[in-house]
């Protein structure tokens, strides 16, 4: 059965789990019962893989997200408590409006302890404009 799955292009457990039973049922020589056995075995090998709902993912993500202070109570309030970790925040605006200043402040607050509304993390600052002199 594993050889049949490999011949059909499914080489990993994750590859099996990321496809529907309908797709896997189209593999020549695999019955529905054999597909169920393959999925069961792959699930045992990778218990964290597979499908989850958006609600489940949000619940898991919420436990891991830390909000880092911007250094300004007003900005933190606009952001719902600060900058979120595990996400990308895009800033744009006119020249000399404080974008670089916020980034420099975040470099500091990201390294502060969580108790002080920091991220207790590390920072790599990439200055593509040469403005950090």
- The percent of residues in the chain predicted with pLDDT above 70, rounded, is 97
Tell me the average pLDDT across 22-26. Answer: 89
Q: pLDDT at residue 132 above 70? A: no
The pLDDT of residue 50 is 62
The pLDDT of residue 78 is 94
pTM for this one? 0.59
112 within 8 A of 84, measured Cβ to Cβ: no
Residue showing tokens 């011949």: 7
Q: pLDDT at residue 107 above 90? A: yes
Average pLDDT of the chain, as a whole number: 89
Q: pLDDT at residue 91 above 70? A: yes
pLDDT band per the 50, 70, 90 thresholds, residue 2: confident
67 within 8 A of 110, measured Cβ to Cβ: no
pLDDT band per the 50, 70, 90 thresholds, residue 61: confident
Could you write out the DSSP letters of every residue in the chain?
A: -HHHHHHTT--SHHHHHTS-HHHHTTSTT--HHHHHHHHHHHHHH-TT-S---HHHHHHHHHHH--EEP-S-HHHHHHTTSSEESSS------STTSSHHHHHHHHHHHHHS-GGGT----------SSS---
Q: Give the number of residues written for the chain.
A: 133
């Amino acid at each position: 059965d594993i050889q049949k799955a490999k011949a059909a292009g499914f080489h990993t457990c994750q590859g099996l789990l990321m496809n529907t039973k309908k797709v896997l049922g189209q593999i020549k020589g695999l019955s529905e019962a054999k597909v169920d056995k393959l999925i069961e075995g792959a699930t045992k090998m990778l218990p964290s893989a597979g499908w989850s709902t958006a609600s489940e993912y949000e619940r898991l993500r919420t436990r891991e997200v830390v909000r880092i202070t911007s250094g300004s109570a007003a900005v933190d309030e606009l952001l719902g408590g600060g900058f979120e970790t595990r996400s990308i925040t895009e800033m744009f605006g006119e020249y000399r409006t404080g974008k670089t200043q916020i980034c420099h402040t975040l470099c500091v607050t990201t390294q502060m302890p969580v108790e002080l509304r920091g991220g207790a993390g590390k920072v790599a600052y990439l200055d593509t404009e040469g403005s950090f002199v």
